[in-house]
Amino acid sequence: MKLVSLPFSLLVLLMPAVLWGAAKPIPNPPALDATSYYLVDFDSGRVLAEKNPDDQVEPASITKLMTAYLVDKAIADGDVTLDEMVTISEKAWRMKGSKMFVEVGKQVSVSDLLKGLIIQSGNDASVALAEHIAGSESAFAGYMNHQAKLLGMDNTNYVNATGWPDENHYSSARDIAILTRTLIDEFPESYNYYKEREYTFNKIRQFNRNRLLWRDDSVDGVKTGHTEAAGFCLVASAQREEMRLISVVLGAGSDKARTQSSQSLLNYGFRYFETHKLYRSDEVLKTAEIWYGDQEQISLGVGKDIFITIPRGRYRDLDASMEIDAEISAPVERGQSLGQVNIKLDEEMILSESIVAMQAVNEGSLIDQAMDKIKLMFR
């Protein structure tokens, strides 16, 4: 299909630009004491640093991110409510490791169990919620694996809802980042739990194990994990101004190492990169002619918010262009791809997104179609 290239100015369509500045080289990411790690921008999805991102490793209590995510989905779908009461089973009560100290046979609200799962990393809370939603922990694990496939978590398999060690229970740094981005995006209100530093249940006060919550005010989550086989793990997220980053550190040698490694990754990302929203989902980028339709013109846009992450100080060096189908004919459906927008930096293509129809256009009358056919012949 023949395309026509139409240059346009970023300075018109983008946010106010940063100051002019010469390009500076980006140093390598910091060397970390970890088996694998991953640093990604929340909005654009650009990966800023990685090491063994797809290695299948034991995720320990980071597993509870999927457990909490599925509880959030059950609440959103109306299957359970936050004030709904859950009867604690003997299995949940007997769980070893980190606990929120629920008592067998007692009833605890979904809200309290969710806080105990997230803030106190309670294995007992995880099992209680899994049993309440799916009937059994094993059935809930099947639900977890189904959701992992839907999210594209190709190197993940769950056996339980807690992260209790099992050779068939594994995930990867990239997959954990995918889940974390989804969780923050879909359930921002529930995500507020992850920044809570402490929670008291049954008169027992426990502290969040994410030490970054005390060290860095920009950090507002997410989850720690530790077993002998997994080492010390930490998923962290921080927002500074309009930029949010997610770091995943797996297999660190100590609690101190996972904290320092996560802080180093976040500092690296914020120091050397910047994120901009290029286009809004409702923004009309161009109006084009359309033939054989009940309208003469059609509005074109990107259909979703588009973000880009680039080296700091390079905003004005971006080069943008649109390619629109040379002949657009009705009928056209809303969201139908009719071209693409390309963003380059130093002649390197760093972003390419579809240009789509902002509204549907139906076929015109037979007379209108005949007139357009004649016009195109002379055109």
pLDDT in tens, 15-26: 333 333 446 788
pLDDT at 370 > cutoff 50: yes
Backbone dihedral angles phi then psi of residue 347, each to the nearest 5 degrees: 70, 5
Question: Which residue in 44, 61, 171, 190 is the catalytic one?
Answer: 61
Supply the pLDDT for residue 368: 73
pLDDT at 363 > cutoff 60: yes
Read off the pLDDT of residues 146-158 as tens digits, 9 standing for 90 and up.
Answer: 999 999 999 999 9
Q: Which of 11-15, 63-67, 119-123, 368-372 has the lowest mean pLDDT?
A: 11-15
pLDDT at 9 > cutoff 50: no
Question: Which residue in 36, 64, 89, 237 is the catalytic one?
Answer: 64
Q: How confident is the model at residue 359 (pLDDT cuts 50, 70, 90)?
A: very high
Supply the pLDDT for residue 365: 85
Q: Which of 107-111, 174-178, 185-189, 291-295 has the lowest mean pLDDT?
A: 291-295
pLDDT at 92 > cutoff 90: yes
Supply the pLDDT for residue 80: 97
What average pLDDT does range 82-99 have in this prediction? 97
Share of the chain above pLDDT 70, in %: 94
Fold (CATH) for 36-199+209-275: Beta-lactamase (3.40.710)
| 304 a catalytic residue | no
Supply the pLDDT for residue 94: 97
What average pLDDT does range 69-74 have in this prediction? 98
| 64 a catalytic residue | yes
Question: Which residue in 121, 237, 247, 261 is the catalytic one?
Answer: 121
Q: How confident is the model at residue 6 (pLDDT cuts 50, 70, 90)?
A: very low
What average pLDDT does range 372-379 have in this prediction? 76
pLDDT at 4 > cutoff 50: no
Average pLDDT, the chain: 92
| 337 a catalytic residue | no
Name the residue with higher pLDDT: 365 or 38: 38
The overall pTM is greater than 0.85: yes
pLDDT at 3 > cutoff 50: no
Name the residue with higher pLDDT: 13 or 79: 79
Q: Which CATH architecture has domain 3-19+280-378?
A: Sandwich (2.60)
Supply the pLDDT for residue 374: 80
Supply the pLDDT for residue 376: 76
Residue intervals of the chain classified under CATH 2.60.410.10 are 3-19+280-378
What average pLDDT does range 133-152 have in this prediction? 98
Read off the pLDDT of residues 287-332 as tens digits, 9 standing for 90 and up.
Answer: 999 988 899 999 999 999 999 999 999 999 999 999 999 899 989 9
Read off the pLDDT of residues 41-68 as tens digits, 9 standing for 90 and up.
Answer: 999 999 999 999 999 999 999 999 999 9
What average pLDDT does range 104-111 have in this prediction? 98
